[in-house]
Chains A and B, each alone.
Chain A
């Protein structure tokens, strides 16, 4: 209860203030400031090496930032924090490479989180897993192992696995980049459905159709900086920065 109060009070689920990050001498993130409210859908795009994946991975502290503050669901992420696992339970993450657990069935992949760390008994975890698998439209694959599924199916399972934790925020790190072209749409459809349900979503993606359709804001990054931040209409029709224009020219032709 305390946590949800903090969210409503602070009005931001995620807030970054003056975040800097280096890999050795290379500065991956430069003075990032960002506020994301509940139910917002944010799309982050930019050329490769622009820091967008680094940024999203800092939000559940798979990566560490060196300067500035990151608050997620009202809790600050820092090096000596306690209970990072509790914070992460509320942040779902979908990876480019799916990262399903290959030794567990699809159903077990989805039950693992609720059953092992949420303390939900097996029967209820199974019901929840099945309902999530129905939501991503592959309940019939429940007893298969991940490698028996296509890439698109695996990614939908990965989304279901995250949703089973009933997260407050979902992070998507290039979820369709590793897929064969004909499988991209099934994953995007799932994400659109999820967006309609009111989930707070932050997506690193190059799928501009998806961005137009669901994003409240598009953030364009280049060389570790947020270059431009705008609504989809403004972003596509009236880009302000030259770097944005170049990027859009490249990606839309």
Chain B
């Protein structure tokens, strides 16, 4: 959103809002009843045995918690925007850690297997995603040009392709390619068929992104190029595509990030990527949460890195134009 030059009062600094918020938070905390948790233990000098404290205990715990919560918000509201964002991020992350911690994780179990998760799982995930992204991009360029061409065959093939591969669930495509092709006599390994499914599916989505990017260039650019005597191929290569790249990059970055995570679907083919390892390594010792949370953190970390790269590329194009 585009910021106005006049600053409104902060909602948190209006007494009515503050009181309303406090009451709501108190009601929610009261409803959840934290008496039998670690908080209840903490308040036992005041409320006695948490189990027997009844309404009084429940109220004291939720009241103190809601006061802390609201005071925390109020304190953050006085900080500068950047500090605010950092603190809120940090606190949410702490909450997430607390959530993970509540599963009674065995850290030594994670330690003993994280090596394999990274050396084999992470590597395979990145490998599959990277190759698929390159192929999908190539498909998307060809598909977009075909969809914009006057050639009936090219348009029909491209639109059939995007319709089909956007119309089927990715998991189904993975199965169809892996199990279907051998029946036709083509033996394909798990990794190539996983890559094929991801490339074809994301190629279809990206075809639409590229098409929209190319179409968003004003027709005056085509006319000026034609008036200079440029042929269509040259116009596309030198005039239209370079201008559509800044428009294509942000949604394509989203596709890359989505694909990285959708690569977990090829785990059904028994490929030793992150998701597959997360499932199987934990299974034997009934330590599911350890491995799943580890995989979650690795996926999240990868996504953050990709987001940072995307932001950097976007900045670069902003500076140039």
Contacts and interface: CB of A to CB of B under 8 A. Distances in A.
Nearest to A62: B223
Interface of B: 218, 220-221, 223-231, 234, 238-239, 242-243, 320-321
Given A116-B234, A116-B238, A117-B234, A99 B229 contact: no
Find the residue from B227, B229, B238, B320 having the highest chain A CB count within 10 A. Answer: B227
Instruction: Please name the 3 residue pairs, one residue from A and one from B, whose CB atoms are nearest each other, closest first.
Output: A89-B229, A99-B224, A93-B227
A93 B229 CA distance: 11
Nearest to A89: B229
A165 B225 CA distance: 12
Given A99-B220, A103-B321, 9 more contacts: A88-B228, A88-B229, A91-B227, A93-B227, A97-B220, A99-B224, A100-B224, A161-B228, A162-B228
B70 to A, nearest CB: 49
A90 B229 CA distance: 8
B230 A85 contact: yes
B239 A101 contact: yes
Interface of A: 60, 62, 85-93, 95, 97, 99-103, 112-113, 116-117, 145, 147, 158, 161-162, 165
B220 A95 contact: yes
15 contacts: A60-B227, A85-B231, A88-B226, A89-B229, A91-B227, A92-B227, A95-B223, A99-B218, A101-B243, A102-B321, A103-B242, A103-B320, A117-B231, A162-B227, A165-B229
B120 to A, nearest CB: 43
Contact of B224 (A85, A86, A101, A103): A101
Given A103-B242, A112-B238, A145-B321, A117 B229 contact: yes
Contacts of B242: 103
A95 B321 contact: no
Given A103-B243, A117-B234, A147-B321, A112 B228 contact: yes
A165 B321 contact: no
Contacts of B321: 102-103, 145, 147
Nearest to A90: B229
Contacts of B234: 116-117
B220 A116 contact: no
Given A103-B242, A145-B321, A113 B223 contact: no
Nearest to A118: B229
B234 to A, nearest CB: 6
Nearest to B221: A99
A86 B218 CA distance: 24
A161 B228 CA distance: 9
Contacts of A101: 221, 224-225, 239, 243
A27 B262 CA distance: 55
B227 A88 contact: yes
Contact of A89 (B220, B228, B239, B320): B228
Contacts of A88: 226-229
Contacts of B223: 62, 95, 99
